[in-house]
Amino acid sequence: MNEILKKTAAEQSAALKNKEISATELTGAAFERIAQIDEKLGTFNSLTQDAAMETARKVDEKIARGEDLPLLAGVPLALKDNMNMTGSRTTASSKILENFVSPFNATVTEKLNANLVPIVGKANLDEFAMGSSNENSAFRKVYNPWDLNRVPGGSSGGSAVAVASCQSTLSLGSDTGGSIRLPASFCGIVGMKPTYGRVSRYGLIALASSLDQIGPFARTVEDAANLLTVISGHDEKDSTSLNLPFENYAAALNNDIKGMKVGVIKELMTEGLAPDVEKAMQRAIEDYKKLGAQIVEISLPNIKHSIGVYYILMTAESSSNLARFDGVKYGYRTPNATNLMEMYTKTRAQGFGPEVKRRIMLGTYALSSGYYDAYYKKAQQMRALVVQDFAEAFKKADVLIGVTCPNTAFEMGSKTADPLAMYLTDIATIGANLAGIPGISVPMGFDADGMPIGLQILAPQLQESRLMNAAHKFERANDYYTKRPQNV
């Protein structure tokens, strides 16, 4: 592997500015790496080589003219394949969109283009972002680069694997219930979900509109902070976008955290934690003490209900959002229908995979006449209690910490026959989406099998700078973030 690909985005940016390497060489090296290992990892659904190399050439021209480069210019990035990019196939890893070519850019894509960030390809995911293991893609599974017999986490598995295996330096994922933080934990990298509304969702194929948020994957907190700076900001095309100023998030990374109140979430330290994960968590608490933070125990009494609440709200919203995929306007249409109703039913039966069908049926049931109050309305009331729990917790603590997942990456196929066991993988991450708060997963060690373990840090709404600072200080107190998988 070209050694430059192992470097962080900050190091690659410095190398470009110092003319140690050109942007076309760096982007070309990423494509060589993809050609070598993508077949066994299943990372990408499609590559966007022409567009990426054209962007890299523009960076080299700016360097040649002696002009300043925008933030992260020339650094290769992978885009989750549920974000639109003009002229690229945008499939959401579903047969129903297999041949859909996007006629427009998502807002995040526009922002990346404006900063001359080469987009190398569209990363594989669980179909329509529904899954925790990236085994639900209609095209091929994604494999964990630390152990090819294990899952990378989902739904943004391809985006996480691209960064962990050095096929791209950065990537974007979407997080509805942990779909950035969980793969980051399983793949030993940094993954961050911003405050709801911080990043425009325009051009993201919606799963659950009140929960979805786009966020960065990177190898360091600094790189994630810079990528968040690039993609943040108000967007009139997204009615949920916050019309608030955003900061240069990397500027706050070196603030002192002495005296910072770090709350340990009691409910995430109970039974169900794998022994090695529990040990890593205890070490992380000690690390924060050494950094001068004040440790306080925090209770989130309603977090135990979050899975039930989430799987009603998310399925209800997704059943509504996915109604548009009916074979009429775009995407797959069954070739053998004799009337309109048959065309609808056969298109959806043939185009959607089993997990998507399961969630559509659950959501449609929860919204149906006679059941709406019992399920959807009740779930919204419970969601308000989860939000209240977090509000109370942040009166006592500046940030909260807990495990990103109670276990490390599991074997391929080990949970596919038991959807409930798969859903429980998200127990630690869902609360942040229900409350709309920012969360980040950073590496906090390895289990006995050498698999990465993630530490989740949560902060109040709009406190991304505080969150990044607490994460960066922990990251630099250890060397876990420097480790790379040796299997690929």
Phi, psi (rounded to 5 degrees) for 263: -90, 125
**Mean of pLDDT values over 120-127:** 98
Tokens of 163: 């960064």
Q: What is the mean pLDDT of the chain?
A: 96
Neighbours of 318 (CB within 10 A): 26
Q: Which residues contact 326 (CB under 8 A, 6 or more apart)?
A: 344, 347, 348
Bridge partner residues of 175 (DSSP):
213
Catalytic residue among 7, 62, 80, 193: 80
The rounded distance, in Å, linking the Cα atoms of 445 and 355 is 32
The rounded distance, in Å, linking the Cα atoms of 475 and 472 is 5
The pLDDT of residue 457 is 98
The pLDDT of residue 417 is 83
Catalytic residue among 132, 155, 159, 319: 155
The rounded distance, in Å, linking the Cα atoms of 470 and 453 is 18
3-class DSSP state for residue 294? strand
pLDDT by residue (tens digit) across 209-229? 999 999 999 999 999 999 999
The pLDDT of residue 220 is 98
The rounded distance, in Å, linking the Cα atoms of 401 and 367 is 35
Edge-first strand order for the sheet with 119-123 is: 44-47, 119-123, 77-80, 170-175, 213-218, 190-193, 439-446, 452-458, 399-403, 261-265, 294-298
The rounded distance, in Å, linking the Cα atoms of 331 and 30 is 30
- Answer yes or no: 80 catalytic: yes
Pairing relation of β-strands 439-446 and 190-193? Answer: antiparallel
| CA atoms within 13 Å, Cβ hemisphere of 8 | 17
Per-residue b or e along 385-416, where b marks 16 or more CB atoms closer than 10 Å to that residue's CB:
bbbebbeebbeebbbbbbbbbbbbbbebeebb
Q: What is the pTM (predicted TM-score) of this model? A: 0.97
The pLDDT of residue 126 is 97
**Mean of pLDDT values over 159-186:** 98
Question: In this structure, what DSSP letter does residue 274 have?
Answer: -
Higher per-residue confidence, 167 vs 371: 167
pLDDT band at 423 (very low <50, low <70, confident <90, very high): confident
- Answer yes or no: 46 catalytic: no
- In this structure, are residues 224 and 481 in contact, taking their beta carbons and an 8 Å threshold? no
pLDDT by residue (tens digit) across 434-474? 999 999 999 999 999 999 999 999 999 999 999 999 999 99
Give Cα 221 to chain centroid, integer Å. Answer: 14
Catalytic residue among 133, 165, 171, 179: 179
Q: Is the pLDDT of residue 76 over 90?
A: yes
- In this structure, are residues 219 and 163 in contact, taking their beta carbons and an 8 Å threshold? yes
pLDDT band at 369 (very low <50, low <70, confident <90, very high): confident
- In this structure, are residues 94 and 356 in contact, taking their beta carbons and an 8 Å threshold? yes
**Mean of pLDDT values over 256-269:** 95
Q: Is the pLDDT of residue 381 over 70?
A: yes
Q: Which residues contact 410 (CB under 8 A, 6 or more apart)?
A: 133, 150, 151
Tokens of 19: 């003319």
- Answer yes or no: 155 catalytic: yes
What the chain holds in terms of domains, given with CATH numbers, is: 3-254+439-482 (3.90.1300.10)
Alpha carbon separation from 311 to 306, 359, 396 (Å, rounded): 8, 8, 29
The pLDDT of residue 424 is 83
Q: Is the pLDDT of residue 179 over 80?
A: yes
- In this structure, are residues 386 and 370 in contact, taking their beta carbons and an 8 Å threshold? no
**Mean of pLDDT values over 90-102:** 97
DSSP string, 2-29: -GGGGS-HHHHHHHHHTTSS-HHHHHHH
Q: Which of 1-5, 93-97, 135-139, 179-183 has the lowest mean pLDDT?
A: 1-5
The rounded distance, in Å, linking the Cα atoms of 34 and 38 is 5
pLDDT band at 170 (very low <50, low <70, confident <90, very high): very high
The pLDDT of residue 247 is 82
pLDDT by residue (tens digit) across 404-422? 999 999 999 998 888 878 8
pLDDT band at 1 (very low <50, low <70, confident <90, very high): low
The rounded distance, in Å, linking the Cα atoms of 124 and 135 is 10
pLDDT by residue (tens digit) across 310-356? 999 999 999 999 999 999 988 999 998 999 999 999 999 999 999 99
Strands (E), 198-329: 213-218, 261-265, 294-298
